[in-house]
Amino acid sequence: MASRIDFHFNVPNRVLYACRVVRKALANNMTVAVWTRDERKLDFFSRQLWSFDPTGFYPHVAADDELAAQTPVVYHADERLLPARDVLLLLDDTVPDDWKTLFERMGRVIDVVGIAENERQPARERFKIYRAAGFSPIAHDQGNLKK
């Protein structure tokens, strides 16, 4: 089971923030899984990993790709396909359908929350769900970070 759940909130751009988390994780030799139900957001995330850091290279593939086992960053809209990773990045406004099973495969969960109220309110509900399940989610305000 995930050792911790962190809520990174007040994030102006969830996808760009996820790319930065990936960069930091890979610099620390960690593997990453990314989940959202939104296929377009996943496609945008993949494209951003190629362009957000002109000098960086962040190998990534969809979780159902034949190279997924050898690739440090995987993503998919079907949480059942995500393999065990050190970090799970959640970019959705809902809890994954089988989140408990998913979290069992992950070392740590980072739930990325935007600044808009329509993103913050669902995050409050997710926070309550995790707390009711016995987790102690930790909130991290990212609103004052430099770009």
pTM for this structure? 0.93
Total number of residues shown for the chain:
147
List the chain domain ranges: 5-141
Give the model confidence (pLDDT) of 97-140 as tens digits: 999 999 999 999 999 999 999 999 999 999 999 999 999 999 99
Give the model confidence (pLDDT) of 35-93 as tens digits: 999 999 999 999 999 999 999 999 999 999 999 999 999 999 999 999 999 999 999 99
Cα–Cα nearest to 20, from 48, 61, 40, 47: 48
Pairing of strands 32-35, 73-76: parallel
- Tell whether the model's pLDDT for residue 145 goes beyond 70: no
Phi, psi angle pair for 143, to nearest 5°: -65, -25
Phi, psi angle pair for 137, to nearest 5°: -60, 145
Distance, CA of 7 to CA of 29 (rounded, Å): 22
Cβ(36)–Cβ(42) below 8 Å? yes
Distance, CA of 121 to CA of 69 (rounded, Å): 35
Burial state string for 29-38 with b = 16 or more CB within 10 A and e = fewer than 16: ebbbbbbbee
Q: Looking at the structure, give the CATH architecture of the domain made up of residues 5-141.
A: 3-Layer(aba) Sandwich (3.40)
Neighbour count for residue 70 (Cβ, 10 Å): 9
Both tokens of residue 71? Answer: 């690739």
